[in-house]
Structure 1
């Protein structure tokens, strides 16, 4: 029977049983650790470090290390880890994701593996979604680690580089995910190794991991330089697109949110600007500006994707509803939105360095995370990050009631029913939290509540300052709170006095999101730690999810749909239709993220090659030795251009080759004219190259020359990389137009991207060889003049 039992248990049950055995061992240590003095407990840290130095593994000492943290937490914070929190800690330790509902104390869970992994001396990064949570967690959990003798740092935007260096040197560093990514990019733009702040990656714990690795995965991190925009062209393109009509001048794919010009749209632009072919190289800038104007017009909606505040366009994070201060769209798209809104055009951002969230976090050897909602995306976590999702049992049973959706035919009917529900609950004193998907929607709900004279607190991107405070009050008696998406995520909603008796917090969802996971996050705001609560989605068949992903299916269903007098859909199969539509949306978003990752993998491979060379030059004391290998090959690379393999002697461009070699080596290179084979000609060049390399060797210990070479080489690399990123962006933009060629766009991007990179890299080697030659020959000239 035992064997049968083993096979019928789910993988997750077997995993939990394995953890429970470890928990038993930790619990048995409780009495022993309670007897220790503070000094003896603190001494455990050095004891563990010594054991690791002597060859023990993290796995060997985890029972004692977890027991140490649990006891320290009880003494320092008065909080003792529940057994389920210990299980969460073990999941994180192994580099997986612990799914724990809201209110289960995820913050305390992170204290366990972060302590143990920090003992390895390689640094631990604990990552949160915003600065408020990073400061809160560092201040709270940091007390446990500091009590046990570890150092704790904080990495947030706008702190001095020296503070950042100290933060990264700490055993455990708290911070915002995007800031860690930007620091990686800045380190790879540094002109001195002393300016770098990060050390090699080791282990990271990401709080709200689904928000960071899935929701933010669509937006790459970009460090951009400023360039003056063509203000006039932005404004003209904005005016042209204002009169464009969908399906006549452009097509719009609502699922993946992309726009393409139709033949009529292209003809119209060519006529307006009096040009023959919009896709000629000479019109590349116009093509780019027109496409950005069209994207600004079609893809970006005011008070949904951005707000206008004091004459400025400010982007809104669609996942949290927060304004992303200081974040601008690059490649002229931000300016296209400004032109659409009739605002002053600001300076354009030109990407100098970029990385996607996915490829940044894949650099960590061990990655782990926590969230209340990850199981629905487990396939993606396994596929992209090789992480499993383990659902941790709750400390107390969940008492929340999740009611079936109320689906209305029209939006107006939906909003009127929401007001009725809120009125009914408010009369009893039961607090209500209304979750919306955008600022526009939150303000619409507010308008309906105003008409009904119901008091409320409105949380959206325009009221971010008091967000955490207001969301924490949402569980108080008589409170009505409207929150954009997941505003205040990470802040617990505590029930006020006598609210439990009224049924707890009543959560209303006004639209199904594109992902069940986001819906589950909203539901999870109610019913924390065994509290009672209710969740109810009140939606309509005119909602964005249905319009974008279920329009055709809905048209077929409409004739058979029955409603009551309030517009409530009575058909039993409507829930199945909504669920199916949501799954289509999830699949579509996954495809977009997967496609973006495949494209970024091309850049990522190139980035690694270039950054490796840059770091070698920056950090090496033998800069000339590093460059000599490239410089030894560069003169011969010119043969490929002027005397390609397999050409007959009559087609050799000897004079041009000699001219280029003279410019490169700054000596007169005379190649023999009586040779018949290319290989013999190449051999005749070798003495010139050997003489050149011998000259370089004389300067390998000259620090003045080395520093000059180092700085100039890095500036060449940065300039070429910026231009290359620009070319790759343009190529990516053109993929949509070229899909009609029936070629896989990823393979096309890969092949042409590789050719571009090869050209760029050869050009870079030429520039560096020429520059080093000039520096060394200049020193030689001065030396001879002195003699």
Structure 2
């Protein structure tokens, strides 16, 4: 089915099949065009007027796009990809299974918008995917005379302005948000980069539009607090004992001082009353220092790199470059690690992901798990959702989850699974919950004589190389969430060994993530619940 019958926010894509069928009949006409004629035909192809700010590609345009993709990329779009492109251009959220070609479908939809005179942002979840997809689809866009660029965390301001002038821009949603915020504070026109919020095609739409909807993108400045204040606060909280001087709530998200803890701190500070208005700032710093000591975990929530704190995005497993915790928490973590303490950040401006996306004139999205959030997409973004069925039957075999007693039992079970699959030459991907856990598995495997490649926030510069080798014969790859959404691991010469085995060393907190699995056979999955997010906002200075 191409929609969920009767579900709120459901959409039918049945009408687009007629356009795709007509495009098949025009294939020979498009194939006979040379490159110049093909580009001209794309510009001249009539665009059927859609509802409001959306467009509906004609059969002639789809035929041109299909031929252009084959000629530029060596990939001929399947009917399902053309159907998805039509649905995206018409302003829908589209569900396509893993491996069914969302990247190409999104590029075809972007090209259709540009032909209609629009400016398009294809929004991804990270820099790696933005850069990869822009480079991958560039030959297609250039053949059609469409300018394409990409923006990432390390893109300099002068280049950003140039990229945003392109017809199609690939970028993480956070980068566009920070550029919008920075433009508000720019005093000179030359300092503004002007991201045009016209059309957004959101990749991994459920993650960006629902899971991160209320995540604030915060532009931070500095406060007058001195670094020494946090150094003293860190020293004082080292004297506190759990369940005596402080308690941690059941979900490990909040830590609170007990009366005994408050008395001890007041005595160490010379008998002051920390609840007196004159000492409010001191109490705040002590609470932040305690939070940093107890709840913020090294190699899980952050890394220490070159004597600096690097935040790890909990949902994506990647370093959040140039981002810091505001409201003094970042300085408290620096004091905890005995680093040079920087001035604590203060909030200058903020925008949520949801508010940012609502500013686009036209919005569409794609993911492997859209239909289950169709009601939310309809409520918050007025988007209708539908599913494009698989081209071929799913060959994946899902084994039941195994819930084990403790971490040691989990480690033993995963190790048995890895050894068995590795002995058969089957490539294995081990999913872990943190940098620390991924490195622990790598150490144990090395002791067992198994060479494993590790992909985590500490070595994200090697991501492309690790991913390229992960599908090879006998490969063992250990990864955090970095190899989750949107990452393609291509198999090579392993069919006779049962494709790739995936062992997940923990249960996903979001049930939808458990459904995002490789389009290959999956053997056993050992799972126990682990991990929690710290209650702090990310900010960009």
Corresponding position of 2:360 = 364
Residue 390 of structure 1 aligns to a residue whose secondary structure is: strand
Contact kept? 1:436, 1:442, Cα under 8 Å: yes
Alpha-carbon distance in 2 for matches of 1:93, 1:50: 11
Corresponding position of 1:544 = 530
Give per-residue Cα distances to partners, 1:256-290, cap 9 Å, x unaligned.
82334444444444443346643443223212212
Corresponding position of 2:382 = 386
Contact kept? 1:108, 1:141, Cα under 8 Å: yes
How many positions carry a matched residue from both structures? 536
Corresponding position of 2:513 = 518
Alpha-carbon distance in 2 for matches of 1:380, 1:459: 33
Corresponding position of 1:609 = none
Corresponding position of 2:26 = 29
Superposition map of 1:96-245 within 5 A: 96-198=92-194, 200-217=196-213, 219-227=215-223, 229-245=225-241
Identify which of 411, 432, 437 aligns with 1:415. Answer: 411
Alpha-carbon distance in 2 for matches of 1:373, 1:91: 16
Residue 376 (structure 1) shift: 4.1
Alpha-carbon distance in 2 for matches of 1:351, 1:250: 28
User: Which one has the largest radius of gyration?
Assistant: 1
Superposition map of 1:198-597 within 5 A: 198=194, 200-217=196-213, 219-227=215-223, 229-255=225-251, 257-274=253-270, 277-487=273-483, 489-497=485-493, 499-521=494-516, 524-527=517-520, 533-540=521-528, 543-544=529-530
Give per-residue Cα distances to partners, 1:142-167, cap 9 Å, x unaligned.
32222222222332344444432332
Alpha-carbon distance in 1 for matches of 2:155, 2:167: 19
- Structure 1: state its 5+ residue gaps: 528-532, 549-584, 597-787
Alpha-carbon distance in 1 for matches of 2:294, 2:416: 35
Residue 314 (structure 1) shift: 1.5
Summarize the Cα distance change of 1:58–1:275 in structure 2 as closer, same or farther, 3 Å threshold: same
Summarize the Cα distance change of 1:286–1:501 in structure 2 as closer, same or farther, 3 Å threshold: same
Alpha-carbon distance in 1 for matches of 2:314, 2:270: 40
Residue 213 of structure 1 aligns to a residue whose secondary structure is: helix
Residue 305 (structure 1) shift: 0.6
Summarize the Cα distance change of 1:89–1:437 in structure 2 as closer, same or farther, 3 Å threshold: same
Alpha-carbon distance in 1 for matches of 2:286, 2:137: 51
Alpha-carbon distance in 2 for matches of 1:402, 1:51: 43
Contact kept? 2:95, 2:388, Cα under 8 Å: yes
Larger RCO (CA within 8 A; separation ≥ 6): 2
Alpha-carbon distance in 1 for matches of 2:53, 2:329: 51
Summarize the Cα distance change of 1:375–1:59 in structure 2 as closer, same or farther, 3 Å threshold: closer
Contact kept? 2:398, 2:523, Cα under 8 Å: yes
Corresponding position of 2:17 = 20
Summarize the Cα distance change of 1:50–1:445 in structure 2 as closer, same or farther, 3 Å threshold: closer
Residue 420 of structure 2 aligns to a residue whose secondary structure is: helix
Summarize the Cα distance change of 1:197–1:337 in structure 2 as closer, same or farther, 3 Å threshold: same
Alpha-carbon distance in 2 for matches of 1:235, 1:6: 59
Residue 110 of structure 1 aligns to a residue whose secondary structure is: helix
Alpha-carbon distance in 1 for matches of 2:385, 2:249: 32
Alpha-carbon distance in 1 for matches of 2:518, 2:209: 21
Give per-residue Cα distances to partners, 1:73-122, cap 9 Å, x unaligned.
12222221111111221232233322222222211111222112223434
Summarize the Cα distance change of 1:343–1:178 in structure 2 as closer, same or farther, 3 Å threshold: same
TM-score (norm 2): 0.89
Q: Does 1:41 align with 2:38?
A: yes
Name the structure where strand makes up a greater proportion of residues.
2
Superposition map of 1:599-748 within 5 A: none
Residue 464 (structure 1) shift: 1.2
Alpha-carbon distance in 1 for matches of 2:5, 2:353: 36
Give per-residue Cα distances to partners, 1:3-56, cap 9 Å, x unaligned.
xx999956699714333233223323323323334333222344258987xx99
Alpha-carbon distance in 2 for matches of 1:184, 1:321: 25
* More off after superposition, 295-304 vs 483-492: 483-492
Summarize the Cα distance change of 1:326–1:58 in structure 2 as closer, same or farther, 3 Å threshold: closer
- Structure 2: state its 5+ residue gaps: none
Summarize the Cα distance change of 1:289–1:207 in structure 2 as closer, same or farther, 3 Å threshold: same
Contact kept? 1:138, 1:153, Cα under 8 Å: yes
